[in-house]
């Protein structure tokens, strides 16, 4: 017997929700198997707060000490109140569209539809092959603004096909398991006092990502579908068996 601490998960899923997770992952796996161009047609996106200060990780704050030196101490710190919300969409070749939400603006359905309009303009400009083919696929999460009636009507009117996403599953959202953590890791330990500085440095970090990084995350996304099915729809991220 071993004494093991509980793993924190986004939500304790019901059996019905687990079955739903498995069904969606199996559907996506099958579509990827049936269509070799499937993953290259997907554009995924989400929004997240970027703060003016993130505390350093334990590894970042480590110091070189001699064997007899006392262990360094560090006060517990939290994220700063200065922040800016970033919205990003990307595909297997890189960032397609990104923007910062104006201060005081709520990401409601009406605002999200305007974001999608600007996304379409950037697809036409940056991904002309997808625009001309008209077969690109939108993937986002189940936020209320993403699933609102106004948003669904806009998507239907523009002929935009969406991919299903299981609820309460950040481990299956590329922005949540790759883009935002990778970006924020580069910002840890650095302090920005103005929103403009946050936005500038966030863009600099996004600009450092390479095409290989995006290709890798889409491959990892496919492997995570298999992990979800193997876990019978339960949260699997962090389990030793899935690393």
The predicted-structure confidence for 27-75, as pLDDT tens digits, reads as follows 999 999 999 999 999 999 999 999 988 665 444 444 444 566 665 554 4
Residue whose C-alpha is closest to residue 99's, from 77, 131, 74, 121: 121
pLDDT number for residue 1: 73
120 pLDDT above the threshold of 90:
yes
Inter-helix orientation angle 15-34/211-230, to 10°: 130
Q: Does residue 145 sit within a domain?
A: yes
pTM attached to this predicted model: 0.85
Q: Does residue 142 sit within a domain?
A: yes
Q: How far apart are CA 19 and CA 26, in angstroms?
A: 11
19 pLDDT above the threshold of 80:
yes
Q: Does residue 7 sit within a domain?
A: no
Give the number of other Cβ atoms within 10 Å of residue 17's Cβ: 17
Q: Does residue 35 sit within a domain?
A: no
For 6-35, what is the mean pLDDT? 89
Q: How far apart are CA 61 and CA 82, in angstroms?
A: 22
Q: Hey, what are 126's tokens?
A: 């940056």
Q: Does residue 21 sit within a domain?
A: no
Domain hosting residue 51, numbered range: 41-57+79-242
Q: DSSP string spanning 87-142?
A: EEEEETTEEEEEEEPPTT----HHHHHHHHHHHHHHHHHH-HHHHHHT--EEE---
Residue 199 burial (10 A CB sphere; 0-12, 13-18, 19+):
middle
Residues 6+ positions from 199 with CB-CB distance below 8 Å: 50, 84, 86, 100
Q: Does residue 195 sit within a domain?
A: yes
Residue whose C-alpha is closest to residue 210's, from 119, 122, 99, 93: 93
* Number of domain units in the chain: 1
Q: Does residue 36 sit within a domain?
A: no
Q: Does residue 184 sit within a domain?
A: yes
Provide the CATH number for the domain around residue 48.
3.30.420.10
């Amino acid at each position: 017997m071993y004494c093991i601490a509980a793993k924190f998960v986004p939500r304790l899923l019901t059996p019905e929700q687990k079955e739903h997770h498995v069904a969606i992952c199996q559907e996506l796996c099958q579509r990827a198997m049936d269509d070799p161009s499937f993953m290259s047609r997907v554009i995924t996106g989400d929004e997240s707060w970027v703060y003016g200060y993130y505390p350093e990780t334990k590894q970042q704050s480590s110091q070189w000490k001699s064997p007899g030196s006392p262990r360094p101490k560090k006060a517990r710190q939290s994220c700063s109140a200065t922040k800016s919300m970033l919205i990003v969409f990307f595909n297997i070749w890189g960032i397609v569209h990104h923007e910062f939400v104006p201060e005081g603006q709520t990401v409601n359905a009406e605002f999200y539809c305007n974001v999608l309009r600007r996304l379409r303009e950037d697809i036409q400009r940056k991904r002309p092959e997808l625009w001309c083919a008209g077969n690109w696929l939108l993937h986002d999460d189940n936020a209320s603004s993403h699933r609102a009636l106004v948003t669904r009507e806009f998507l239907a009117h523009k002929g935009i096909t969406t991919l299903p996403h299981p609820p309460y599953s950040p481990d299956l959202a590329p922005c949540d398991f790759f883009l935002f953590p990778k970006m924020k890791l580069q910002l840890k330990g650095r302090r920005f006092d103005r929103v403009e500085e946050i936005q500038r440095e966030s863009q600099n970090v996004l600009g450092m990502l390479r095409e290989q990084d995006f290709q890798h995350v889409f491959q990892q996304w496919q492997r995570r579908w298999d992990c979800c099915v193997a876990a019978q729809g339960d949260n699997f991220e962090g389990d030793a068996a899935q690393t």
